[in-house]
Chains A and B, each alone.
Chain A
Amino acid sequence: MPDRQPAIWVVAEQMPGRLAPVSLEILGQAGRLASEAGGREVAALLLGHGVGAFAEELLAFGADKVHLVEDPRLELYQNDTYGAVLSKLILRERPDVVLFGASAVGEELAPTVAARLDTGLGAHCTNLGMRPDGTLTMGVLGFGGRVHTEMFCPSMRPQMASVKPGMFQPPPRSETGGKIVREDGAVLLSDVEIRLRTVKVVREEPEGMPLEQAEVVVAGGWGVGGKENWRILTELARELSGAVGCTRPALDEGWTAGEHTMIGTSGKTVRPKVYIGVGISGSPHHTVGIKDAGVIISVNSDPRAPVFECSDYRVVADFRKILSPLLAEIRRAKGPIS
């Protein structure tokens, strides 16, 4: 077998209708790692049915090559078909590194493939690096974001990692060529025992602005104290045309719009221009999700709350005394008609 130039692979995710944003984010990282390693091929894998246009997109965002596998049985994701196809391709082409987005799908697909290939997998990585000897370093958070561990996979190959969505920016778009390799889906699936059947994929667009796109995020935590108090956060966000986020404790209490509004290690990463945190103590679980926000203003009655260590502005006060006057002042600032 001739020596292959070690490649960096990115498993792209397409949900009916579009490429998942995290796919572009990890494509950008693959490009960076490739140049850190002195030049490597970056290839994307795309599985589906009728998704040729996305393959072009992947080339435009930096892939040197796209392995496109199309088959009606791959139209909707399921771990047995996708797991089997990916494993076969990886065994055939032997890339050095394979990256997944740690989306819900990636969270299931990556370990499935890692088990089939008997290799290691870094989970929900928040940073990646490439050492000169070709070792991939994977930064992983544990204990609710309190501990950061640098992981690596010294001997098994490929080196695999799932990457937390929202940690990185997507790369710039450029038309620099590259080629699409059409794989034979029917052949790759021919001997696969398919035991699951995805019946349908349902999209539920949440009401209100998605957290990741909001310029202003108002987030509430345990200190808010109750569902009634939560209303003023919603009002504040609305006045500022922003979105409402929360921490895990507030979510668990049932005060919030749902898990899709949770910001943190196991939730969303947000990068608003302004973040206003209310009644949030600042556990690392949450603060990792806002570390790249523009300006962080925190309101908490406890002067020693850890959140103040990572805030630009601290308001040590009972939020119940601050938010109503703040709302009034904002309305005044917006003018008589608002």
Chain B
Amino acid sequence: MNIVVLVKPVPDPACYDRIEIDPATGVLERQGMPAVLNPADRHALEAALALSERFGGRVTMVSMAPDSAAETLMEGLAMGADEACILSDRIFAGSDSLATSRVLAAGIRKIGAFDLVLAGNESADGGTAHVPSQVGELLGVSHLANVTRLEVGADGRVEARTRIENGYIEVEGALPMVVGVKREINTPRYTSLMGVLAAQSKPVRVWGACDLGIDAACVGMEGSGMRPGRLTRPEYGRKGERIEGSPEEVSRRVVAILRAQGILG
């Protein structure tokens, strides 16, 4: 079984508090923020590794990212992926989710035949959750998002559960398929020492627009329907009166506030 896992290096979510917007240029400042594998992608990778252990085959990571991303993708190779393909080109910059999906689809086509494409449902920084559905549409195969349970049969039959508010949907389909998984689908394995060692010698390919045969007009800013405007920092300011005193004094004050709001009568 040939499985592709779409991964995205994102600035470490633990550092999002440090993100600043330059007031003069309105541009995002994220210098010096370490990059990690998008947390949801590790769950996608785990699902891929579990399936390849059952059925045999290769697990290939594909990422649209600058070529410095090789270091972050090593994490995935250490977890057990067989190889990584980085799709990197200056003209990809500024891509919205559909343009990104075009690049990823081109990368997947270049890798060759695939049975399953897995992706984390959304990325920690942008969080559009569009990519799995749009890559599926562009590749012309069936696709599912918000998947919390995935069963694949040897005959290629797929049974999946997708989460909705207050419930779930049971869906049937068949490979080939693109699946966006939620984090609750599994617990990613720990990286072993052996994995760290093996990662060093696994192939990491870098492909640009020319290698992918992709038209500049359909990627990057030029190929994106969406345009970003002003960036601002959302402010939800409130007056913040401090309640001081002993725990008993604080409790009495809080009860008074609750009373004033009509709670506790």
Contacts and interface: CB of A to CB of B under 8 A. Distances in A.
Contacts of A137: 229
Contact of A142 (B127, B143, B247): B127
A145 B250 contact: no
A150 B134 contact: no
A206 B228 CA distance: 38
Contacts of B136: 112
Nearest to B167: A203
Contacts of B163: 104
Chain B interface residue bracket vs A: 35 or more
Chain A interface residue bracket vs B: 35 or more
A148 B163 CA distance: 27
A310 B143 contact: no
A259 interface: yes
B225 A120 contact: yes
A76 B170 CA distance: 10
Interface in B204-243: 224-234, 236-243
Contacts of A83: 137
Interface in A241-260: 259-260
Nearest to A153: B225
Contact of A108 (B101, B144, B166, B257): B144
Nearest to A239: B264
B146 A107 contact: yes
Interface string B112-134: 00000000001011111111011
A68 to B, nearest CB: 22
Nearest to A329: B251
B124 A325 contact: no
A204 B167 contact: yes
Nearest to A206: B166
A306 B164 CA distance: 32
Interface string A1-34: 0000000000000010000100000000000000
Contacts of A156: 225
A76 B162 CA distance: 13
Contacts of B227: 151-154
Interface string A60-80: 000000000000000011111
Nearest to B128: A123
Contact of B165 (A103, A266, A288): A103
A284 interface: yes
Interface string B246-265: 01101110110111011110
B17 interface: yes
A294 B263 CA distance: 12
Nearest to A318: B247
Interface string A132-151: 00000100011111111111
B198 interface: no
B127 A123 contact: yes
A115 interface: yes
A274 B257 CA distance: 9
B247 A322 contact: yes
Interface stretch (A45-53, A90-98, A171-179, A191-199): A191-199
B99 to A, nearest CB: 9
B164 A104 contact: yes
Given A120-B226, A150-B229, A273-B261, A314 B144 contact: no
B171 interface: yes
Interface string B142-158: 11111000000000000
Contact of A115 (B101, B162, B231, B258): B101
B146 A108 contact: yes
A274 B225 contact: no
Contacts of A147: 19, 21, 28, 231-234
A186 interface: no
Contact of A240 (B125, B171, B240, B258): B258
A150 to B, nearest CB: 4
A200 B169 contact: yes
A326 B166 CA distance: 32
B53 interface: no
Contact of B130 (A111, A165, A200, A216): A111
A260 B96 CA distance: 29
B63 to A, nearest CB: 19
A215 B243 contact: no
B224 A120 contact: yes
Given A326-B250, A326-B251, A333-B264, A313 B240 contact: yes
8 contacts: A104-B163, A124-B127, A124-B129, A142-B127, A146-B234, A147-B21, A152-B227, A324-B247
In the A-B complex, the 7 residue pairs with the smallest Cβ-Cβ separation, listed nearest first, are A120-B225, A111-B130, A115-B137, A150-B229, A329-B251, A123-B128, A156-B225
Given A104-B146, A108-B162, A111-B128, 15 more contacts: A104-B162, A108-B144, A116-B137, A120-B224, A121-B226, A146-B16, A195-B142, A196-B171, A197-B171, A200-B170, A260-B165, A294-B261, A310-B236, A317-B247, A325-B247
